[in-house]
Chains A and B, each alone.
Chain A
Amino acid sequence: MFNEILDSTLTILKNELWKAIYETAIMLGISFVLSLIFGSVLGFLLYLTSNKAFFQKPVLNKAVAGVINFIRSIPFIILVVFTLPLTFYIVGTKIGPVAASVPLSITATVFLARLIEISLKEVDPGVIEAALSTGARNSLIIRKVLLVEAAPGIVRGITVTFISLIGFSAMAGMVGGGGIGNLAVQYGYYRYETGIMIFTIIVLVLIVQTAQYIGDLVAKKLSH
């Protein structure tokens, strides 16, 4: 009985595992990199446009915050469907890991933007004031004070975003993205391959634990 399960699990894995891992890597890779770039830009934009010490622009701030809230209110699975036309326009197809990366990137970007904004807001205003009092220009203050003080929080935010992405990528897999999550659903759920289910869960847990461990380590290195 047990040997039978093991045999069929191993057979399926031999055929499907590398493809699944490859697809997950594509989805995570693209959306993680894009969300890092755009999430940081938006996060800083949110903070800097709300702060009197920098470039207070209430209208721009409200507009960006509004768009972010709008996207954040849409459940991910609906966002995937909602962005299909956009996905097709950008990627030229609606299925596959690259196509799934479009809604994943959007979700992760707005998520990370908020987390980065929160980390920046937690920087002691007194420290920024002290930096201003030295006569430093804004660009120097942003690089040498804001970023340095918020770095541990930003790294924790990036970690949380990455881990959420793993969860979302499993969902994206169901609507044609493929990947490890899809493997679990297709075989573990529809074909009652419990071995596959357990295996994928173990793989996902390991990825999450590793990501969290690395994130914590870096955050700790940056905070004093």
Chain B
Amino acid sequence: MIRFEDVSVKFTRDDKTFTAVDKVTLEVKKGEFFGIVGSSGAGKSTLVRTVNLLQRPSSGKVFVNGEDITSLDGAALSNLRLKIGMIFQHFNLVKNATVYDNVAFALKASSTPKNEIPLRVLELLKIVGLSDKAKLYPSSLSGGQKQRVAIARALANNPEILLCDEATSALDPDNTKEVVQTLKNIKNSYPITILFITHQMEVAKSLFDKIAVMDHGKLVEVGSSYDIFARPTSNAAKNLINKSFDGVVPQEVLDHEHSLYLITFKEENAYEAVISEVSRRFTNIDLSIIAGNIEYIQQKPLGRLLISLRGNDKAQFDSVLTFLKEKAYVHEFKGVVANV
């Protein structure tokens, strides 16, 4: 559906060249709820903006539906954009126009016959649950409602693709849930491909089928959401996942614990008594549990423990790690929080 081939985007300012996106090759299949995650400045927004050419790639090609769109302009570009809806972090609604007019704008863009517009606008507002807000102005809506208006506008012309650029990042948790739920409903009832950019792993967990991780403009990891969360391989992915323990583990604990490990149980071992076995077999090592949780990602349980290991017996310390690695995915949990 969407294919990036060796796409780079470079910005030049004051004779300095900054590479925002660095040779990314990636494919998003039809009907996928695809997430691109990465910390801010990783280049993910820039990458997604090449799909509707809000940003032209400096090199490489972008294909939509098999068609190379990289050099489209004029009417051909307008036609492409009609098939691609987009929502933004700050909603970008016309604030001096009503909710109705904001949605109707997209229909006018596609030259929808005038007499069909009112019905279609109401239909769209119904999809996002805002039928009663048509006459209001954006300023009287909550953040979540504004984003839902933006979703209605993006869906107006029955796009095949919906691009979401940090669509929940400016929202509080309640409003985020509201928007996430709206997107899930839409995904369940329409055959639409969604490409969603975010740095919020909470959102990634609940929405995406597949995830691509970006770091410093490069694509560092691609996989199913479950795999990325269970066994991240790149440092960027590990960092992002460690961040989901932000606020769960107090800074004080992180400051004086030196050997923290995040253990993710493999599905089949989810209920095995791994921890008690460690304390029975390796008596020179103290293992304490700092935090833990079980989540469902793509309807599969994912159990994680944050543990601390202490002990001077170097040999046994290593065998504990070897033992744990047989039973679960283990990666060192360090300093990300301190960097924030």
Write the chain A residue with the least CB distance to B90. A126
Q: Which residues of A contact B92 (CB under 8 A)?
A: 124, 126-127, 129-130
Q: Which residues of A contact B63 (CB under 8 A)?
A: none
- Give the CA-CA distance A19 to B293 in the complex, in Å: 87
Write the chain B residue with the least CB distance to A137. B78
Write the chain A residue with the least CB distance to B106. A134
Q: A120: shortest Cβ distance to chain B, in Å? A: 14
Q: Is the beta-carbon distance between A130 and B88 smaller than 8 angstroms?
A: yes
CB-CB under 8 A for A134 and B94, given A144-B105, A224-B137, A224-B138: no
Contact with A along B83-113 (1 / 0, CB 8 A): 0111010101111110001000110111000
Write the chain A residue with the least CB distance to B77. A135
Instruction: Tell yes or no: B150 within 8 A of A by CB.
Output: yes
Which A104-143 residues sit within 8 Å CB-CB of chain B?
A: 124, 126-127, 129-137, 140
Instruction: Tell yes or no: A145 within 8 A of B by CB.
Output: yes
- Give the CA-CA distance A149 to B137 in the complex, in Å: 13
Q: Which residues of A contact B80 (CB under 8 A)?
A: 135
Write the chain A residue with the least CB distance to B107. A134
- Give the CA-CA distance A132 to B154 in the complex, in Å: 11
Tell which of A129, A145, A152, A222 touches B94, judged by Cβ atoms closer than 8 Å: A145
Q: Is the beta-carbon distance between A135 and B79 smaller than 8 angstroms?
A: yes
Q: Is the beta-carbon distance between B150 and A148 smaller than 8 angstroms?
A: no
CB-CB under 8 A for A134 and B150, given A129-B54, A144-B105, A222-B96: no
Q: Is the beta-carbon distance between A151 and B52 smaller than 8 angstroms?
A: no
Instruction: Tell yes or no: A223 within 8 A of B by CB.
Output: yes
CB-CB under 8 A for A135 and B78, given A129-B54, A144-B105: yes
Q: B93: shortest Cβ distance to chain A, in Å? A: 7
Instruction: Tell yes or no: B3 within 8 A of A by CB.
Output: no
- Give the CA-CA distance A152 to B96 in the complex, in Å: 9
Write the chain A residue with the least CB distance to B80. A135
Which B198-217 residues sit within 8 Å CB-CB of chain A?
A: none
Q: B141: shortest Cβ distance to chain A, in Å? A: 11
- Give the CA-CA distance A126 to B138 in the complex, in Å: 15
Q: Is the beta-carbon distance between B81 and A135 smaller than 8 angstroms?
A: yes
Q: B294: shortest Cβ distance to chain A, in Å? A: 39
Q: A57: shortest Cβ distance to chain B, in Å? A: 16
Q: Is the beta-carbon distance between A135 and B95 smaller than 8 angstroms?
A: no
Q: Which residues of A contact B157 (CB under 8 A)?
A: 134-135
Contact with B along A176-215 (1 / 0, CB 8 A): 0000000000000000000000000000000000000000
- How many residues in B have their beta carbons less than 8 Å from beta carbons of A? 34
CB-CB under 8 A for A133 and B86, given A140-B108, A140-B109, A224-B138: yes
Write the chain A residue with the least CB distance to B163. A133
Q: Which residues of B contact A140 (CB under 8 A)?
A: 105, 108-109
Q: Is the beta-carbon distance between A136 and B109 smaller than 8 angstroms?
A: yes
Instruction: Tell yes or no: B241 within 8 A of A by CB.
Output: no
Instruction: Tell yes or no: B260 within 8 A of A by CB.
Output: no
CB-CB under 8 A for A134 and B54, given A124-B92, A224-B137: no
Which B29-64 residues sit within 8 Å CB-CB of chain A?
A: 52, 54
- Give the CA-CA distance A132 to B77 in the complex, in Å: 10
Q: Is the beta-carbon distance between B97 and A144 smaller than 8 angstroms?
A: yes
- Give the CA-CA distance A152 to B97 in the complex, in Å: 12
Tell which of A132, A135, A223 touches B96, judged by Cβ atoms closer than 8 Å: A223
Q: Is the beta-carbon distance between B138 and A144 smaller than 8 angstroms?
A: no
Write the chain B residue with the least CB distance to A152. B96
Which B175-199 residues sit within 8 Å CB-CB of chain A?
A: none
Q: Is the beta-carbon distance between B108 and A144 smaller than 8 angstroms?
A: yes
Q: Which residues of B contact A124 (CB under 8 A)?
A: 92
Interface residues, chain B, with chain A CB atoms under 8 Å away: 52, 54, 77-82, 84-86, 88, 90, 92-97, 101, 105-106, 108-110, 137-139, 150, 153-154, 156-157, 163
Question: 5 smallest A-B Cβ distances: which pairs?
Answer: A135-B81, A136-B109, A130-B92, A224-B137, A135-B82
16 contacts across the A-B interface (CB closer than 8 A): A127-B93, A127-B95, A129-B54, A130-B88, A133-B154, A134-B106, A135-B79, A135-B82, A136-B78, A137-B78, A144-B94, A144-B97, A144-B105, A148-B94, A149-B95, A224-B139
Given contacts A130-B153, A134-B110, A144-B97, 8 further A-B contacts (CB under 8 A): A126-B88, A127-B94, A133-B54, A134-B157, A135-B81, A136-B78, A151-B96, A152-B96
